[in-house]
Amino acid sequence: MPLPSDLPVVDHHCHLSPHGEGVAAARRFAATGGTHLFLATQNYEADPPRSVEDYQRQFETTEALARQIRAETPVEVYLVVAPYPVDLVSAAAALGLEKAARVHADALDLAGRWVRDRRAVALGEVGLPHFEVAPDVAAACGAAFDHALEVARDADCPAIVHSADLTIDGYRELAARGARAGLPSGRLVKHYARHRTTPSERAGVAASYLARRPLVQEVVGDPGPWFLETDFLDDRSRPGAVLDLATVPRRARAIVEGSSDGAEQLQGPFVESIEAVYGWRPEIRAGNGRP
């Protein structure tokens, strides 16, 4: 059974690189039935960014990729930009903690302007290093995360959160951190979620689930908001990591083929959750009908 032509098929978190497969990966995504990508920025250069200008150039590279994908494929692309939380750790070693924290905060402000200018739809990835760091660096990372949540509040957009796996307490702490910054939990998305949780266990935070087959089978009928993602890295040294970009359309096809209400269930992650968290619905582009 083909995917219904009016069903968006959305990968909610991936990266693409001009040094990797780039637009060809998006073409593969489309050929498998994918229609929409949330494209998160990443560092494209040998060294991590050390200045706001470096971040500006990085975001522009992501934007250029998005523009190329829209021009050359039927895929719609939404940009997600922010300084990667872990950048602050390496920048602190190179620049000193105080200067690194200032660059990071300025880059978050820049990302907020991109959202307000409608060049991006969300702030991401923001959050905390997923590994242990020195106490002073950890404090700076926490302050940077708080600032990120305030920037998301002011830009009226979701924050896509990078963190270690979250327990129920971890979700509660995240929601409380958002509340302190004035960002409601419905605007928080835990990206790279690897375990099934209910909306109340997540304290209202949305889950962007890694689209591994068993996890997708577990969560497919669950109430939202939740998304599916590959966190595709487009790194030639790690082909197909974290999951290949064709994964979400493949899972969608399996669900539609496996159950009579599969297409209806997929309205959850691909339409209703986007509307709940972002405030708009993904539209199938004119000329984006599937073969």
Comparing CB distances to Zn ion, the nearer of 59 and 262 is: 59
Tokens coding 87: 């950048």
For residue 140, give the 3-state DSSP assignment.
helix
* Region binding Zn ion by CB under 5 A among candidate stretches 127-135, 171-179, 197-205, 223-231: 223-231
Q: Under the phi-then-psi rule, with left for phi > 0, alpha for psi from -120 to 50, and beta for the rest, what region is 181?
A: alpha
Q: Among all chains, which residue has been given the structure tokens 């229609």? A: 35
We find the least distance from the C-beta atom of residue 98 to Zn ion, in angstroms, to be 28
Comparing CB distances to Zn ion, the nearer of 87 and 231 is: 231
We find the least distance from the C-beta atom of residue 99 to Zn ion, in angstroms, to be 26
By CB under 5 A, tell whether 21 contacts Zn ion. no
Strand boundaries in the chain, DSSP class E: 10-14, 36-40, 76-81, 122-127, 159-162, 188-193, 206-210, 226-229
Rounded distance between C-alpha atoms, residue 85 and residue 95, angstroms:
16
Rounded distance between C-alpha atoms, residue 77 and residue 38, angstroms:
6
Comparing CB distances to Zn ion, the nearer of 7 and 233 is: 233
For residue 69, give the 3-state DSSP assignment.
helix
Q: Residue 167: how many CB atoms within 10 A of its CB?
A: 12
We find the least distance from the C-beta atom of residue 42 to Zn ion, in angstroms, to be 7
We find the least distance from the C-beta atom of residue 186 to Zn ion, in angstroms, to be 21
Q: Among all chains, which residue has been given the structure tokens 């030639």? A: 236
Comparing CB distances to Zn ion, the nearer of 21 and 231 is: 231
Rounded distance between C-alpha atoms, residue 269 and residue 249, angstroms:
12
Comparing CB distances to Zn ion, the nearer of 11 and 231 is: 231
Rounded distance between C-alpha atoms, residue 89 and residue 85, angstroms:
8
Task: Report which of 229, 245, 212 is spatially closest to residue 24, judged by C-alpha positions.
Answer: 245
We find the least distance from the C-beta atom of residue 65 to Zn ion, in angstroms, to be 15
Per CB under 5 A, which of residues 121..160 are in contact with Zn ion? Answer: none
Comparing CB distances to Zn ion, the nearer of 54 and 231 is: 231
We find the least distance from the C-beta atom of residue 167 to Zn ion, in angstroms, to be 21
Rounded distance between C-alpha atoms, residue 97 and residue 103, angstroms:
10
Comparing CB distances to Zn ion, the nearer of 74 and 85 is: 85
Per CB under 5 A, which of residues 162..191 are in contact with Zn ion? Answer: none
We find the least distance from the C-beta atom of residue 263 to Zn ion, in angstroms, to be 28
Residue count at the site for Zn ion (CB under 5 A)?
1
Residue least distant from Zn ion (Cβ):
231
Binding mask 225-254 for Zn ion (x = CB under 5 A): ------x-----------------------
| Residues found near Zn ion in the complex (CB under 5 A) | 231
